Amino acid sequence: MPSGSDTTEEAVSGTTPDGPVPSARTGATAPPGRPGRARRLLALVRREVLRTGLAVVFGVALGLAFPPYDLWPLSLVAVAALSLLTRGRTARQGAWTGLVFGLPFFLILLKWLHVVGWDAVVGLSFAEALFVALLGAGLALTSRLPAWPLWAACLWVAEEWARDRLPFGGFPWGRLAFANTGSPFTPLAALGGAPLVTFAVALSGALLAACAAALWGLRGNGTVRRAVAALEAFGLAAAVTLAGLLVPVPTKADDSVDIAVVQGNVQQAGMDFLGRPMKILDNHATATEQLAADIKAGRAKKPDLVIWPENSSDLDPFQYPQAYDRIDEAVKAIGVPVLVGALVDHPSKKGYVFNEGIVWDPKKGPGASYTKQHPVPFGEYVPFREQLSKIITRFQRVPRDFYPGDHTGLLHVGPAKLGDVICFEVAYDEIVHDTVGAGARALVIQTNNATYGRTGQPEQQLAMSKLRAVEHGRAVVTAATSGISAVVAPDGRITHRIPEFTQGVVSARIPLRDETTLADRVGAAPEWALAIVGLLSCAAAVIAGRRGRTKDEKGQQ
């Protein structure tokens, strides 16, 4: 009979002569050799805190590589850092590192969205950072493969490929190429577009990481082989960085055209930039009429055509006679065709509008037009409007949805065949590529950045124009309501510029080119090829890992 007192050796040890027995007490502590959940979590935090902190720091560094800061060498440093921080890790650990790297990067890059609301900044940044989390997982997996810097560069292209397309047509902001529009990598755009520039930047950064890893290995075992590996990696990184300088960027043209870009300005920056009706239209009409007066007085040369920006008419000229008449007066005063930006009501779908560039002739009036093909989700249209508007009342400030166009922006404006691209469309490779392919001899970016004035967003968009100029060998004219309006030469140099929130007119002679670049001819093929190689490298890493585990298990048996 047991005495009822747990004082025997068997009771204390939890055993009987027949073997161990479970304790009858509830809430018994775990054995000393097995840490509890809290202890394991604390150990995880201690192990990851330094790596996480470094990922945050270098994510910020990547944000500073982009305009308006333009510290492009930081893009190499950031890529190298992410490669080292994910090297030798599991896919899950790499995903976490990628997430905490990507979130601060996008917060820095997209802070201009605070005009809409900081919740929009955080929400979009987190959504974009999820793609970088996948990139981090891929980098971790492939870091064990031979030639891992090559697979890392392909994975950067794959990550951007996905972000450029998903969801709702994608959001290409933050591509490594857009941080390198004035670097030695820029001429590579003429060979393979933005994807090739991203690949070269990522490859150079990953090779620097390989160099750093080899140098770190010299600490305890300084073999000649490791030293040679470090030198080789650094030499390859330098070669990739400087390779772009060997790429010719042709600018010669057989023809040219004199243009005038009108920046009429707005009443104020922010969400309420429109001000009173007809104000923005009157600003552009008045600036155009002043140019006409200067021409008449001999103070300015008459252009062959005039370009107004997106939304330069704040009223539909086909619905409001006063808007039609005001445009017509200004166009007749200058006496040459004017490319006008306007929102036009959809003729059959109530609640929908077209965002258009309209060729307005001084004799014939409005003629050919281009409708923006890629409206911005949640800015120019609201997906799932009925459901989301009940939850997020701010969407009610987008009262009508923009209806997408169905053709490229090739327009005959006076003597020139121009390719019209509207606002954020400059970020999308295929839209600009198709426009040049249709026969555009120069590109026009009609844009309205008044909502995001003085936030850095106009500088980021102008950088994209610089890259497109080199990629397609075309002069690029950016016409903005409030700035930055600019003229970019085919080699990516900004030749003329009007500051933000300044009414002004730029007069320039731009080349009209017919010659196409290699990037025009190959199209999206390099991007698809590099992205597929990146994904296949992940598959190879997974297969190699499983084979390795199988061999270990057999060896243990």
Catalytic residues: 310, 372, 423
Spacing of C-alpha 242 from chain mean position: 24
- Count of other CB atoms within 10 angstroms of residue 520: 18
What are the C-alpha distances in Å from 533 to residues 150, 202, 380?
10, 14, 35
In degrees rounded to 5, what are phi and psi of residue 506?
A: -105, 125
Query: In this structure, what DSSP letter does residue 479 have?
Result: E
Dig out the tokens for 517 from the structure.
């670049």
Query: In this structure, what DSSP letter does residue 336 have?
Result: S
Q: Are 452 and 115 in contact (CB under 8 A)?
A: yes
Beta bridge partners of 370: 357
Distance, in Å, from the CA atom of 409 to the CA atom of 440, rounded to the nearest integer, reads 8
User: Nearest-CA neighbor of 310 among 237, 244, 432, 409?
Assistant: 409
DSSP assignment of 96-153 equals HHHHHHHHHHHHHHTGGGGGT-HHHHHHHHHHHHHHHHHHHHHHHHHTTSTTHHHHHH
Longest dimension (CA), the chain: 122
- Count of other CB atoms within 10 angstroms of residue 439: 12
